[in-house]
Structure 1
Amino acid sequence: MQQQSSPPSVPLHSDFKYRVDYVGLERQPVLVIDNFLVHAETLVEFAQQQGQFNNVDAHYPGVRLPAPELYLYSFQRHLHRLVSDTFGMRDEWVTGVKADFSMVVTPPAELRPAQCLPHFDSTNGRELAAVHYLCDSKQGGTSLYRHRSTNYETIDAERKPIYRRSLQQELPDHLVPRRYMNGSDNFFEQIASYEARFNRLIIYRCNNLHSGNIAPDFTFDPSPRTGRLTLNTFIYARA
């Protein structure tokens, strides 16, 4: 991840702390940061004032808004070394970094089949995803999963056709229940779960099977101040 040297950045919170978990049989690293940035509530106010959330991603069950450049500068400056050490990320691999505010607002009845199951963002194991929670635990965190029949916890280019074929045999689209994944079922085992906490940030590889924890009584509140507001950052890399 390329470090920005000149632009300004938001300071780290005075109680910044982190840990690295190694999850599942594959021992995949998950970087968990609590109390990331000082005055994180100003990000909520920014999202509230901008108000131009759009359905820009066909895969995400909600709406998104581009994050300010200052956030990206801060993310890269403060986390460059920590991300590099945790995931073995080299600067020359990185092709781009993108961050968006995100809000889950799609009711279960309107979900596409793929949105009802754990998913992966990329088959490139060098690419990383980060979720910065700007909401509390009532809005639901994020979990990682194992596909039971293949025992896969990550999906790379070689595994992808095997996984897709197995999943289609087990759960053809017309049999997928219209609900959000939240805990284990007959086809997927939850292997780690991270509670949403305000100003918590988690980072994991994009090819991990994962899902947001959206409970049956989730309210789909569209307000950044009171709904499930997160900042989702993707670090893109050469395969």
Structure 2
Amino acid sequence: MPVEKKLINPDFEIKIIRVGKEQTPVMVIDDFLLDTKDVIANACEFGQFTRASTYYPGNRANLPRSYVIKVLQSIYLQICELYKIPEALNLKPQATTYSLITHQPEELHVLQRIPHFDSTNPYYFAVLHYLSDRCHGDTGFFRHRPTGFESITASRESVYLDSTKEHFMKFGEPLPAYCTETNDHYELYDKIEYKPNRLAIYPGNLLHSTLVNTDTDIDDNPATGRLTANIFIDFL
């Protein structure tokens, strides 16, 4: 079902934070929508949530096309300016979903127990919208301690993957738990705090993870769970 009424807050303000030693710019917009009620209601009434086919530890459902269009129209120019997107490239949405964390720690695949990156493409971005009006876990940015990498580019990918495998062989796989703090393999160096109606945009090559609060976040009900809107875009 489309979200037709006026949606985006015309007075939103963009805050730019630079994270980590690599000083990667991240966009944060508070009070992004005039009201999140319709977008949440759409998820509750019409969202056909199914188990994610990716390594996302939960369920996903398609976002309303009208919502996606309005979001991208409102931030497109700012993304191009901040990240210096070449004019010859065009924005291509890659995935547009509601997301809910549903996996208990003991259900996690080994790759769900460590921070991840979405893509090595230099102009691939995650657009994350915190929807639930409850208190939930933040989004953390991590540094890979053996290599010092905060972002995984194409030139770093094989080095990072080989180093990760070597760490597993030497010290064993991580215990079945969400990665929510610094450990012997990854360092949590910054985070985007959870705040209802906060939008964040960051490069998909950053190592990141939801800082899952197992008391509040593992819930398949879009009315009470950690409901987010996730839009992944690439410039090709």
1:94 Cα deviation (Å)? 3.0
Report the 3-state secondary structure (helix = DSSP H, G, I; strand = E; otherwise coil) of the residue aligned with 1:158: helix
Is it true that 1:208 corresponds to 2:217 in the alignment?
A: no
Is it true that 1:170 corresponds to 2:156 in the alignment?
A: no
1:81 Cα deviation (Å)? 1.5
- The match for 2:45 is 49
- The match for 2:70 is 74
1:118 Cα deviation (Å)? 0.4
Partner amino acid, structure 1, of 2:148: N
Alignment of 1:18-167 (within 5 A): 18-90=14-86, 92-94=88-90, 96-97=92-93, 98-136=95-133, 138-167=135-164
1:11 Cα deviation (Å)? 3.7
- The match for 1:223 is 221
**Contact 1:135–1:196 at 8 Å: present in 2 too?**
no
Partner amino acid, structure 2, of 1:234: F
- The match for 2:184 is 186
Give the Cα–Cα distance (whole angstroms) in 2 for the partners of residues 151 and 118 of structure 1.
14
Give the Cα–Cα distance (whole angstroms) in 2 for the partners of residues 166 and 10 of structure 1.
49
Give the Cα–Cα distance (whole angstroms) in 2 for the partners of residues 119 and 138 of structure 1.
23
1:138 Cα deviation (Å)? 2.4
Q: Say how many residue pairs are matched.
A: 231
1:223 Cα deviation (Å)? 1.1
Deviations 1:48-79 (A, max 9, x none): 00141012323110111111111111112211
1:191 Cα deviation (Å)? 1.5
Partner amino acid, structure 1, of 2:212: I
Unaligned regions of 5+ residues in structure 2, if any?
Answer: none
Give the Cα–Cα distance (whole angstroms) in 1 for the partners of residues 26 and 163 of structure 2.
27
With the length of structure 2 as denominator, give the TM-score of the two structures: 0.91
**Contact 2:128–2:201 at 8 Å: present in 1 too?**
yes
Aligned sequence identity (%): 32
**Contact 1:136–1:196 at 8 Å: present in 2 too?**
no
Give the Cα–Cα distance (whole angstroms) in 2 for the partners of residues 223 and 86 of structure 1.
36
With the length of structure 1 as denominator, give the TM-score of the two structures: 0.90
1:88 Cα deviation (Å)? 1.5
Give the Cα–Cα distance (whole angstroms) in 1 for the partners of residues 124 and 45 of structure 2.
31
RMSD of the TM alignment (CA)? 1.9
Deviations 1:181-204 (A, max 9, x none): 112111111121111111101110
